[in-house]
Amino acid sequence: MATVISVDGEDGANLARSSGIRLVQDDPQAVVLRNHDVITRDGQPGRNAPRAVPGGPGGTVAVRLFESERSQGAIRVDVENFSSSHRPPRSTEVAIGRDLILTAIGGNGESGHTGGDGQSGMNGANGTDATKGSDATNGTDGGSGGDAGRGSSGGNGGLGGSIHVILGEHSTHLLMATYFDVRGGKGGAAGAHGKAGAGGTGGKAGMGFAWEETVGYTYYCTDSCIKTDAHAANSNALMRVGTRAGSQLNATTRALVAQTRAVSVSGSNLQNVIAQLALSYHARRQPMVDEGACKCGGGTGNCGGCGMKPVIKPFQRAPGLGGRDGETGLSITEPLAAGVDGEHGTVTIVVHHGGDSVQRYHLPWLLELVDFEVEDENGDGVFEPGEHLFIRRIKVRNIGGMPSPTCRIAVTLAENSDWFEAVPADDGGVAFLPTSIPAHGSASTEGSIKVRIKTAMRRRAPQSGVRFLAKDTVRIRADMPWLERRLPSFEYSKDVEISYPCTFGNFNFLSTITQGAVSKVQYEVL
């Protein structure tokens, strides 16, 4: 659990919403308004995305730390000054066991936005089919697709802010429960460009039209043709000739269909073409009988006895042309970038010494256990069950950025184990770390920690003729006064072998002797 006092910067997305600019830029009505423009077959271009809003910078806060006067182990925090859109509480009590977290984090940059997609071009209109009296029309071209809208890069993260912690030289132990966060804000993710609109499909061509047309009528002589009187004397011959001719012509009285390919016409020239074709076939446009004798009987034209045959000619109107497909709109290939992370802010620890002396630091202290030595109780080099061992010359190093606290920090056996158990503090079970170790410096304790080695009988009885040997690990801990919490970075440990100074073995003796006899017993001291 932690108590947090924050002067963090606002995220870019929140700034954009609170300012109202996104409500305007993202309003779909802005797109609808484009429909009031002049309508064309081309697609409208995609909307360009707005620029991403950068994160706001972290604020500034100055706090003073005291040991609480109301609760043992608690910390009182007074805010002396701040610069932030969010107002922190003037005074706060941090209960024992809780951490104090001071933050001045830069706001995260807003993510980049996606550009609008270009609208697709409208499809071309289909052409109309040809008829006998009108040409086919062409399909119209498809409209071009709208250009892609431009996306935007991510907004930059806001700068980390400034935290100032003010305390007296005898209160620096409170920093053990105090944590700082002045990170810069994260840059926003890159947006994306919109997609180009597809071109519209060209309209289909109007279909052509084909038909047959009677362009005129031709006449031929028959046996019924009318003759003049001058031809009467030759009637027998004419009859013979006429019979032969008539028989041949009567055999082909069906319509005369021209065997050439269809005649193409366009526009309104159909009647002119028909008239020209009638002339070329020596045909009359309408059926008509001349007065008087037939030309085969001395007359000048056809007569009522002539046969008539229509001249039929195929015609066509060509199909139209299909419209071209519209072109795809322009794409955007320029890369978009994520926003840049904001730079970290600063932490300043202001320590007031006696008088007007002030020291400033940028990192708190941090003690790390480096080494310690273990000695037996009587100096024979053997750690015997039931005796004591002493932990001496405990070496610690300050890997922080300011001197360690001035208060005495107790060091004891970390916990009872299989073979080791703590003794009371007033019996030598505690030592104290050196005070005011400078940054990057190291120091060793003057005193020692007395630890009892449990007896073998409590653990297991030694076997006759077998050397007794056990092993266990010595671990120690340091506890900060007032805060009543364990210092981290005290993981260093040592293994200790537990045994007796000597062992009797290799016994040699008689298994039985008579009453009153004397026998030697031989053995080795191991």
pLDDT along the chain (526 residues), means of 10: 95 91 52 50 95 96 97 96 93 96 98 96 96 94 96 98 97 98 98 97 96 90 82 46 39 52 90 91 86 84 88 94 96 97 98 92 98 95 95 98 97 96 96 97 97 77 70 97 95 94 71 83 68
DSSP code of residue 154 = P
- Are 172 and 121 in contact, with CB atoms under 8 Å apart? no
Provide CATH 2.60.40 ranges for the chain. 365-497
Give pLDDT, residue 25: 53
pLDDT of residue 254: 55
Q: How many CA atoms lie within 13 A of 279 on its CB side?
A: 5
| Nearest of 176, 162, 186 to residue 103 by alpha carbon | 162
Write the secondary structure of 362-425 as one string of H (helix), E (strand) and C (coil): CCCCCEEEEEEEEEECCCCCCECCCCEEEEEEEEEEECCCCCCCCCCCEEEECCCCCCEEECCH
Contacts 24+ apart (CB under 8 A), 248-252: 249/220, 249/221, 249/222, 249/307, 250/222, 250/307, 252/309
- Tokens representing 503 are 């062992």
CA atoms within 13 A on the CB side of 179: 11
CA dist., res. 151 & res. 193, Å (int): 4
Return the beta strands (E) in 39-129 as ranges. 60-67, 75-83, 91-94, 99-103
Residue from 54, 377, 333 nearest 185 by CA: 54
Tell me if 317 sits within 8 A of 130, measured CB to CB: yes
Exposed (0-12), middle (13-18) or buried (19+): which is 415, by Cβ within 10 Å? exposed
CA angle at 420 for the pair 416 and 422, rounded to the nearest 5°? 60
H or E element in which residue 190 lies = none
Side-chain half-sphere CA neighbours of 464 within 13 A: 3
CA distance 481 to 430: 13
Cα dist. 333→123, 150, 336, 338 in Å? 27, 10, 9, 16
Sequence-ordered list of residues with C-beta below 8 angstroms from that of 510, at least 6 positions apart, any chain: 519
CA distance 142 to 120: 10
pLDDT of residue 235: 47
* Residue 75 dihedral angles phi and psi, to the nearest 5°: -120, 135
Q: What is the pLDDT of residue 51?
A: 95
Q: How many residues does the chain have?
A: 526
CA distances from 124 to 62, 77, 136 (A): 70, 75, 16
384: number of Cβ within 10 Å = 19
CA distance 267 to 269: 6
- Among candidate residues 311, 245, 249, the one with its CA nearest the CA of residue 276: 311
Amino acid at 220: Y
3-class SS of residue 79: strand
Instruction: Give the span between the Cα atoms of 22 and 454, in whole angstroms.
Output: 73
pTM (2 decimals)? Answer: 0.74
Q: What does each C-alpha distance from 474 to 62, 302, 376, 392, 432 come to in angstroms?
A: 43, 144, 13, 12, 17
| Residue/partner pairs of 178-181 with CB below 8 Å, 24 or more apart | 178/65, 178/75, 178/99, 178/100, 178/101, 178/102, 178/364, 179/2, 179/99, 179/100, 179/101, 179/102, 180/101, 180/102, 180/103, 180/347, 181/101, 181/102, 181/103, 181/104, 181/105
450 contact partners, CB below 8 Å, separation of at least 6: 388, 389, 390, 423, 427, 428, 429
- Number of Cβ within 10 Å of residue 133's Cβ equals 10
Architecture of domain 365-497: Sandwich (2.60)
265-297: buried (b, 16+ CB within 10 Å) or exposed (e) per residue? beeeebeebbeebbeeeebeeeeeebeebbbbb
Q: 434 near 409, Cβ under 8 Å?
A: no
